[in-house]
Chains A and B, each alone.
Chain A
Amino acid sequence: MAEPTLNKLRVPLADPKVQLRQLHALAIERSFEAQVAGAGHPELRADGIQVLQINVGKRCNQVCHHCHVDAGPDRREVMSAETVDHCLRVLAQTDIPTLDITGGAPELHPEFRRMVREARALGRQVMDRCNLTILLLPNYSDLPEFLAENQVEVIASLPYYLPKQTDAQRGEGVFDGSIEALRRLNDLGYGVPGSGLKLDLVTNPVGAFLPAKQSQLEAEWRRELARRHGVTFNSLYTITNMPISRFLEFLLRSGNLETYMQKLVQAFNPAAVNGLMCRTTLSVGWDGTLYDCDFNQMLELTVDHGGPRHIRDFQIAPLARRQIVTAPHCFGCTAGAGSSCGGALAD
């Protein structure tokens, strides 16, 4: 049996407002907004929309301990077919080059394949944020072939190249399943030089510390995954754990919240500000609401500076120059080498 989500447990921390209260109650010497202004951005603004990131819902076959979505098998939030249509219409009416599909496990969504096909037919790059074990479920075993046929870029989560750390974060047996799924993807050409099929890996630290240097880890992982498991991949992205949702619950439970937040604040790197993903991404929630990023989405911090707030009312001009909504969790994106869905920002 999978563990219950915070939502299912009905704990107060499942409420984004309670999470924000926790973050705002922390003593932070200089606010994120002041730090960003000091780095040359008096207002943090979007600079176009390069990526439409769609979170199709919170259902997932896993219940990872660090999950910022609080996803799991007991979640019921799923994007409607009508909202999917709105998203595809926005893609068709703009030249946003990339569709980034996330969740939960996005492949569980009944419209996943339609989204991929239609976005590909429009000539857009499509990314699937894949938890790997989904590819082993009986009803989804043809997914690798589907992804390959449609030249979908697979961004797969794997926190470590050893079972102990991976299973500690993602659940018992996840490591072995992930390696099996990676081998299947490799067999189809994913992550194999010259195939044109991109397979990138994502690693989040397994605990309350910052990720190591991305370039150094990538070299190590390439060596160890090849040597131990015969697995190859294209790039490794390091992502900092954000102090929200289940990772926030872990920080509180383990007595790490203050030191972790202090670490994020002290490690503020002005060089990471320019490349913050919210500056080039528009995030869509399962109900069509628009956000600056997937983290703001989970905190229910809707876009809030003049632009429309729902995908059905999409207008490129105000959204492409919108002011970004920020809060203390944003320090997670600027700590050390910086962090985004595409990995480090200033490695």
Chain B
Amino acid sequence: MSHYYESHDLGKFGEMANGSPELWQKFLAWYSAVFAEGALSEREKALIALAVAHAVQCPYCIDAYTTACLEKGSNEEQMTEAVHVAAAIRGGASLVHGVQMRNHLHKLSM
């Protein structure tokens, strides 16, 4: 059975240019500018990308930014901490909605 996500499909990302070459070019130019050394280092940006990849749960991005983090000089401990940051924000984001629950609870309750 074939899977929805195949790791080698990442290599086909460039085929997204076929439907709209101009939009693809604009995306590429913007994307590479985003990841270039700036106020944040390339290494920091790769770690942020790794964390976000986990938050949005994109398997392609997780593979790509695991490699990118290693190639920017990050180690396993640093990468694991980045994933915990993503997990903590996701967990915290759920929990903080408890305030919403409590607001509504109080409104409804006698």
Contacts and interface: CB of A to CB of B under 8 A. Distances in A.
Interface stretch (A49-57, A69-77, A203-211): A203-211
Contacts, number: 26
Interface in A148-166: 160, 162, 164-165
Nearest to A165: B75
A115 interface: no
Interface residues of A, number: 15
B75 A162 contact: yes
Interface string B57-84: 0000000000100111101100000000
Q: Is the interface of B mostly helix, strand, loop or mixed?
A: helix
- State the main secondary structure of chain A at its contact with B: loop
Nearest to A209: B70
A211 B71 contact: yes
Contacts of B76: 164
A205 B70 CA distance: 9
Interface stretch (A129-137, A139-147, A212-220, A288-296): A212-220
22 contacts: A160-B75, A164-B76, A165-B75, A205-B70, A205-B71, A207-B70, A209-B70, A209-B71, A210-B71, A211-B71, A212-B43, A212-B70, A212-B71, A212-B72, A212-B73, A213-B42, A213-B72, A213-B73, A216-B43, A216-B73, A217-B73, A262-B11
Given A211-B71, A213-B72, 12 more contacts: A164-B76, A205-B71, A209-B67, A209-B71, A212-B70, A212-B72, A212-B73, A213-B73, A216-B43, A216-B73, A217-B73, A220-B73
